[in-house]
């Protein structure tokens, strides 16, 4: 029997209704939990272009609230960050007082390099505490950080540099992937060469594994500048000033720059810690993700610190660093109260340690709740976790755009009996509806497009970085008055939301969001390729992996094996190894509708299902047989496990 820890029951409906019926009153109360310099004059306003804005007129500093505030409140000696790195055999505790020291000095470093309020700083770092220090230092100055996931290749980094036009790039000499040392500085150099808006300076954190080559005048050593820097006090910013840009995959080759603003973000983060996670100040919170993803922004750095929790920075993998017991070892050693990761991480553990032998030596009695997100929590993984753990296993659904859970089992309000395959109920503040193609709400149990009625609650994106038109086009135009999530699913008769997967060309590979459209653009540039389709197909470990179907130019002569090797190398070089693009096959034609649209969904289904219905709109049904034969001969569809 699961012990839910004496949580209050019956508060969900009341809270949900209050947030919908009186959003201003509701969020006013939540905003009151923060130490503003000036409390906002307006709670919710709408601008001329229709954008909703939360807390206009409010003045605050996110870094102050996450760091200095806790020192002032007597938490100076509490660990703010615990760095646990099995790949380097390092453990480090950083108290709130020490974090303040480091962050205020690194803000001094950035200031010395000319960074001011509103300037952008790109952060391309492995999972080391300095990544969080750099982010918080930007927030301290009112500068806008753009963290780029370390697994992205220089081409991806260059795209993000050109869009954000940063004054400075902060990086480290290397990252460590299990036993592989990956030098970062050459990738930064290559990205700077590729981009049109190079930064004026870089700051490189030297790790003992790699000595970076620094270009005099442009590249600076982190430690050297830190030893010279003066500390800087938090700069007062407006609630509506951007805190960060985080690029995420859309359906085209150009990633979307999701903007997060200071005031509503801080309020939402705090509210989520209380409501979604039931995380109390002083507790240990661990999100095993990466600062390069939204989970890392929200739940490795900002939310735990804003709440006065200790946050764990983990540099490793669920397996192989050194074994599938790492998660349990860290939970026991640091007395983790709340743990959050992606289902794929547990699928990796389950594969190597199905009976959880590696868990046995570890006392994880401190753990209150296990949270999962980033991709659908598949019922077999859920059942395995549920039967092996004595704490609630909570799925929750969200996106880079929202920054926090749209649907959850709200552990701080009321605990609902979970249903396998469902992320449970809409979080207070989110009005989730399922709409059909015409924009009409569907009946309970009927699938459709998941949309959120406007206004979105605090913490969600107000726009895309310098591209408000694309924001409207991507999210608001489809269903007027609603935000389009891009996911499909249904709500059952008890109000439980089931998220079944993306309805666009975005795929989810090991919890990493990637664009098949971008891969198609890159593959389309290969000399032999006339056209191609990239689809995500089921993979037992990673959830999905991309495969490419390629039609050659009439005069192109190339063996399938050679072409596949070249395309795999190309995607790895342009996007990064993280894309896990390993297979491309030649086909004579692609299945299309009569209007010429490639039937990607049909291809996807053919790779994982039998008896896939022939779409009524297909121009030539015979193509499907050809594709099926090609997939079978290349073992696509029995893909799982092939690396
Ligand atoms: N820097 C450089 N390379 C990176 C990287 C980084 N930060 N992150 C991943 N890569 C590389 C890996 O080394 C690997 O390269 P390879 O093809 O040469 O082996 C490739 O990208 C794929 O990495 P990954 O997706 O991590 O696959 P994996 O097989 O190494 O591990 C899992 C599989 C499931 C264990 C791993 O994906 C995992 O722990 N996932 C958790 C997901 C997560 O945290 N998601 C965030 C949302 S909550
Ligand atoms: P990202 O923006 O990288 O966080 O990816 C967001 C996407 O991941 C969502 O749009 C979903 O497709 C998927 N996703 C995240 N969490 C869940 C979940 N709990 N259940 C189902 N899908 C999820």
Which tens digit of pLDDT belongs to each residue from 502-524? 998 899 999 999 999 999 999 99
Residue 642's pLDDT band, with cuts at 50, 70 and 90, is very low
**d(CA 66, ligand 1 centre) in Å:** 29
Check if the beta carbon of residue 166 is closer than 8 Å to that of residue 119: yes
* C-beta 296 within 6 A of ligand 1: no
Q: What is the mean pLDDT of the segment spanning 205-220?
A: 98
Relative to the alpha carbon of 539, which ligand is closest?
A: 1
**d(CA 578, ligand 1 centre) in Å:** 6
**d(CA 417, ligand 2 centre) in Å:** 22
**DSSP SS3 for 377:** coil
Q: What is the mean pLDDT of the segment spanning 360-373?
A: 98
DSSP assigned state of 578: G
In the predicted structure, residue 3 carries a pLDDT above the cut 70: no
DSSP assigned state of 495: S
Nearest atom in ligand 2 to 248's CA:
2
pLDDT at 284: 99
Nearest CA to ligand 2 atom 13: 375
Which residues are CB-neighbours of 572 under 8 A, at least 6 positions away?
153, 579, 581
Number of Cβ atoms within 10 Å of the Cβ of 227: 10
**d(CA 374, ligand 2 centre) in Å:** 5
Check if the beta carbon of residue 256 is closer than 8 Å to that of residue 447: no
Q: Which of 287, 297, 373, 404 to mutate to test the pocket of ligand 2 (most atoms within 8 A of CB)?
A: 373
Check if the beta carbon of residue 310 is closer than 8 Å to that of residue 283: yes
Q: What is the mean pLDDT of the segment spanning 253-279?
A: 97
The hierarchical CATH code for the domain 508-633 is 3.30.300.30
Check if the beta carbon of residue 188 is closer than 8 Å to that of residue 150: no
**What's the Cα-to-Cα distance from 51 to each of 46, 432, 471, 476, rounded to whole Å?**
6, 19, 10, 10
Nearest atom in ligand 2 to 489's CA:
21
**d(CA 312, ligand 2 centre) in Å:** 22
Q: Which is nearest to 200 in space by CA: 296, 274, 112?
A: 112
Task: Convert the pLDDT of each residue in 321-335 to its tens digit.
Answer: 999 999 999 999 999
Check if the beta carbon of residue 461 is closer than 8 Å to that of residue 52: no
What integer best gives the mean pLDDT of the chain?
A: 95
Q: What is the mean pLDDT of the segment spanning 375-397?
A: 96
Cα angle: 270, vertex 424, 420; to 5 degrees? 135
Nearest atom in ligand 1 to 295's CA:
48
**d(CA 396, ligand 2 centre) in Å:** 9
Dist CA 198 CA 121 (whole Å): 12
**d(CA 131, ligand 1 centre) in Å:** 18
Considering only residues 253 and 485, tell me which one the structure prediction assigns the higher pLDDT. 485
DSSP calls for 103-140:
HHHHHHHHHHTT--TT-EEEEE--SSHHHHHHHHHHHH
Which residues are CB-neighbours of 19 under 8 A, at least 6 positions away?
26, 27, 428, 429, 457
**d(CA 483, ligand 2 centre) in Å:** 15
Check if the beta carbon of residue 510 is closer than 8 Å to that of residue 536: no
Number of Cβ atoms within 10 Å of the Cβ of 481: 10
* C-beta 7 within 6 A of ligand 1: no
Give first-to-last CA distance, the chain, whole Å: 40
Name the H helices within 83-238. Answer: 96-112, 129-141, 154-164, 185-194, 222-228
> What's this model's pTM, rounded to 2 decimal places?
0.95
Dist CA 183 CA 255 (whole Å): 24
Q: Which of 376, 460, 483 to mutate to test the pocket of ligand 2 (most atoms within 8 A of CB)?
A: 376
Cα angle: 581, vertex 375, 148; to 5 degrees? 60
Backbone dihedral angles phi then psi of residue 65, each to the nearest 5 degrees? -65, -30
* C-beta 511 within 6 A of ligand 1: yes
Dist CA 269 CA 54 (whole Å): 14
**d(CA 28, ligand 1 centre) in Å:** 40
- Percent of the chain at pLDDT > 90 equals 89
In the predicted structure, residue 39 carries a pLDDT above the cut 50: yes
* C-beta 123 within 6 A of ligand 1: no
In the predicted structure, residue 592 carries a pLDDT above the cut 70: yes
Number of Cβ atoms within 10 Å of the Cβ of 112: 15
pLDDT at 611: 79
Which residues are CB-neighbours of 518 under 8 A, at least 6 positions away?
249, 252, 253, 255, 575
In the predicted structure, residue 638 carries a pLDDT above the cut 70: no
Task: Convert the pLDDT of each residue in 64-111 to its tens digit.
Answer: 999 999 999 999 999 999 999 999 999 999 999 999 999 999 999 999
Q: Which of 123, 148, 177 to mutate to test the pocket of ligand 1 (most atoms within 8 A of CB)?
A: 177
Q: Which residues line ligand 2 (CB under 6 A)?
A: 248, 293-294, 373-377, 395-400, 423, 486-487, 499, 502, 508, 513
In the predicted structure, residue 7 carries a pLDDT above the cut 60: no
DSSP calls for 236-252:
PEETTSEEEEEEE--SS
**DSSP SS3 for 336:** coil
Name the H helices within 260-312. Answer: 262-275, 294-296, 303-306
Structure tokens at 381: 């993984």
In the predicted structure, residue 362 carries a pLDDT above the cut 70: yes
Nearest atom in ligand 2 to 502's CA:
12
Relative to the alpha carbon of 247, which ligand is closest?
A: 2
**d(CA 214, ligand 1 centre) in Å:** 28
DSSP strand pairing (201-205 vs 219-221): parallel
**DSSP SS3 for 363:** coil
Considering only residues 612 and 29, tell me which one the structure prediction assigns the higher pLDDT. 29
In the predicted structure, residue 4 carries a pLDDT above the cut 50: no
pLDDT at 8: 46
Task: Convert the pLDDT of each residue in 135-163 to its tens digit.
Answer: 999 999 999 999 999 999 999 999 999 99
Backbone dihedral angles phi then psi of residue 245, each to the nearest 5 degrees? -115, 135
**d(CA 74, ligand 1 centre) in Å:** 38
């Amino acid at each position: 029997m699961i012990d839910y820890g004496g949580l209050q029951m019956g508060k969900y409906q009341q809270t949900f209704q209050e947030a919908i019926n009186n959003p201003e009153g509701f969020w006013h109360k939540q905003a009151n939990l923060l130490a503003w310099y000036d409390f906002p004059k307006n709670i919710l306003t709408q601008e001329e272009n229709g954008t909703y804005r939360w807390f206009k007129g409010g003045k605050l500093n996110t870094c102050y609230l996450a760091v200095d505030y806790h020192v002032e409140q007597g938490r100076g000696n509490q660990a703010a960050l615990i760095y646990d790195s099995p790949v380097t055999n390092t453990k480090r505790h950083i108290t709130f007082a020490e974090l303040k020291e480091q962050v205020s000095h690194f803000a001094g470093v950035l200031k010395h390099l000319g960074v001011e309020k509103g300037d952008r700083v790109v952060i391309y770092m492995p999972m080391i505490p300095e990544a969080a220090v750099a982010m918080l230092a930007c927030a301290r100055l009112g500068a806008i950080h753009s963290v780029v996931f370390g697994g992205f290749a220089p081409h991806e980094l260059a795209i993000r540099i050109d869009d954000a036009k940063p004054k400075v790039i902060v990086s480290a000499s290397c990252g460590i992937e299990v036993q592989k040392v990956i030098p970062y500085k050459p990738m930064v150099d290559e990205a700077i060469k590729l981009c049109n808006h190079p930064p004026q300076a870089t700051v490189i954190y030297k790790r003992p594994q790699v000595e970076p080559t620094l270009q005099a005048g442009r590249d600076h050593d982190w430690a050297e500048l830190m030893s010279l820097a003066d500390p800087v006090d938090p700069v007062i910013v407006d609630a509506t000033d951007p805190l960060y840009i985080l690029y995420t995959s859309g359906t085209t080759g150009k990633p979307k720059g999701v903007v997060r603003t200071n005031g509503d973000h801080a309020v939402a983060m705090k509210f989520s810690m209380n409501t979604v996670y039931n995380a109390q100040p002083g507790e240990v919170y661990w999100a095993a993700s990466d600062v390069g993803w939204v989970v890392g922004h929200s739940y490795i750095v900002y939310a735990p610190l804003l709440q006065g929790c200790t946050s764990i920075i983990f540099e490793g993998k669920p397996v192989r660093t050194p074994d599938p017991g790492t998660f349990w070892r860290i939970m026991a050693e640091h007395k983790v109260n709340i743990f959050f990761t992606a289902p794929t991480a547990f699928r990796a553990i389950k594969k190597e340690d199905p009976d959880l032998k590696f868990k046995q030596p570890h006392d994880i009695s401190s753990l209150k709740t296990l949270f999962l997100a980033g991709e659908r929590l598949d019922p077999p993984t859920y059942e395995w976790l549920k039967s092996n753990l004595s704490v609630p296993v909570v799925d929750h659904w969200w996106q880079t755009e929202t920054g926090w859970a749209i649907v959850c089992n709200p552990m701080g309000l009321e605990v609902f009996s979970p249903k396998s395959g469902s992320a449970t109920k809409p979080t207070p503040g989110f009005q989730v509806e399922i709409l059909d193609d015409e924009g009409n709400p569907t009946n309970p149990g009927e699938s459709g497009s998941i949309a959120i009625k406007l206004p979105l609650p605090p913490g969600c994106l107000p726009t895309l970085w310098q591209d408000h038109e694309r924001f409207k086009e991507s999210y608001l135009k489809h269903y007027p008055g609603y935000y389009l999530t891009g996911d499909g699913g249904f709500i059952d008769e008890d109000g439980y939301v089931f998220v079944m997967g993306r309805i666009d060309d975005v795929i989810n590979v090991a919890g990493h969001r990637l664009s098949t459209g971008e891969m198609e653009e890159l593959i389309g540039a290969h000399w032999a390729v006339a056209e191609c389709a990239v689809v995500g197909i089921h993979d037992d470990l990673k959830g999905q992996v991309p495969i490419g179907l390629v039609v050659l130019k009439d005069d192109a002569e190339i063996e399938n094996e050679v072409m596949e090797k070249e395309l795999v190398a190309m995607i790895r070089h342009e996007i990064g190894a993280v894309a896990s693009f390993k297979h491309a096959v030649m086909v004579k034609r692609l299945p299309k509708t009569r209007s010429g649209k490639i039937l990607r969904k049909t291809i996807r289904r053919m790779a994982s299902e039998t008896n896939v219905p022939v779409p009524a709109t297909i121009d030539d049904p015979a193509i499907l047989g050809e594709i099926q034969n090609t997939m079978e001969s290349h073992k696509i569809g029995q893909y799982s496990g092939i690396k």
